[in-house]
Structure 1
């Protein structure tokens, strides 16, 4: 069997951060993050997932021979489920809303959500291997159903739509994974 059993990744740890668009992003996997990056807290054991959506159109020559396929309306999303009800998660779930604390009592005023693009960073770890996925600009586009019961954790499932930069970059992956290394050409 071809392949290397050390190459598959099982991401045993992860952290997810949000920051204002334009916050200095890391350029490696070890540098401390800029103070603008705020952790969302604990994530569901289900991890994160990426989805892709696009339209494809097949073009045929006379006689039915496929000659080309064009693609348009490409969209990528990342989905995470946050398990904490902290101020960062509150802001992502309810953009434009406010929270104040006086004498140990917090009052949250939830308003109709406003547009609130952010930068996001997903840091994944598998033993000594680290990968940082930086989304320079995205936005929470969907919030899943929020359970409130005695049999299920309150959780906030967030779908983040990734917006491309002017040069069409969707995100940047930085990793110290040896299998991702580009061979050096002599």
Structure 2
């Protein structure tokens, strides 16, 4: 059987941070996230999921032979469930709303959500392997139904839509996974599709 048992990843831990668009993104794995970044807090054990959506149009030659596929309207989203009801989550769920505190009493004034683009970093860990996914521009475009009960944990399912930059870059992954390392001088490693 072909393959390497060291290649599959089981992400055992994760953190999600957010900051204003334009905040410096991490360039390594060792530097702690700066004070401009706000942690979302505890995340659901269900993990994060990434979805892709795009339109395709197939073109055929006479006789029904497929000769080209055109791709357009590419959309990428990450879905994650926040388990904390903290100020960072409140801001992501209710952009444009406010919180004030007087004499230990919080007043949350929830307004109709406005568009608020943010930067995000999703850090994943599998033993000694760490991956930081830096998203320069994204936005929470969907919030799942929030259950308020004594039998279910309150949670906020957030769908983050990722916007490309001027060079069509959606995000940058930085990791220390030796299985995905680029070839070193003199070594040739082909990358499928390139």
Map of 1:137 onto structure 2: 137
State how far apart, in whole Å, the 2-side matches of 1:180 and 1:94 are: 38
**Which residue number corresponds to residue 19 of structure 1?**
19
Runs of 4+ in 1 over 4 A off after TM superposition: none
Say how many residue pairs are matched: 186
Question: What SS does the corresponding residue of 1:154 show, helix, strand or coil?
Answer: coil
Partners of 1:23 and 1:34 within 8 A in 2: no
Rounded to whole Å, the distance in 1 between the matches of 2:70 and 2:126 is 37
User: Over residues 46-85 of structure 1, what are the superposed CA-to-partner deviations in whole Å (9 max), with x where a residue is unaligned?
Assistant: 0000000000000011221111000000000000000000
Residues 20-61 of structure 1: per-residue CA shift (max 9 Å, x gap): 001111101111112111100000000000000000000011
**Partner residue, 2:73:** 73
Question: Offset of 1:185 from its aligned partner?
Answer: 2.9
**Is contact 1:138-1:163 (8 Å) kept?**
yes
- Return 5+ residue gaps in structure 2 as ranges: 187-194
State how far apart, in whole Å, the 1-side matches of 2:77 and 2:148 are: 26
- Gap regions ≥5 residues in structure 1: none
Once residues 84 and 110 of structure 1 are traced to their aligned partners in structure 2, the CA distance between those partners, rounded to angstroms, is 18
| Alignment root-mean-square deviation, CA | 0.7
* Secondary structure of the corresponding residue to residue 88 of structure 2: helix
SS of the residue 1:36 aligns to: coil
Q: 2: CA distance between counterparts of 1:27 and 1:65?
A: 46
**How does 1:99-138 map onto structure 2 within 5 Å?**
99-138=99-138
Match of 1:48 in 2: 48
User: Quick check: 1:96–1:111 contact (8 Å CA) kept in 2?
Assistant: yes
Counterparts of 1:16 and 1:56, CA distance in 2 = 32
User: TM-score, normalized by length of structure 2?
Assistant: 0.94
Contact kept in structure 2, 1:59 and 1:66, CA below 8 Å: yes
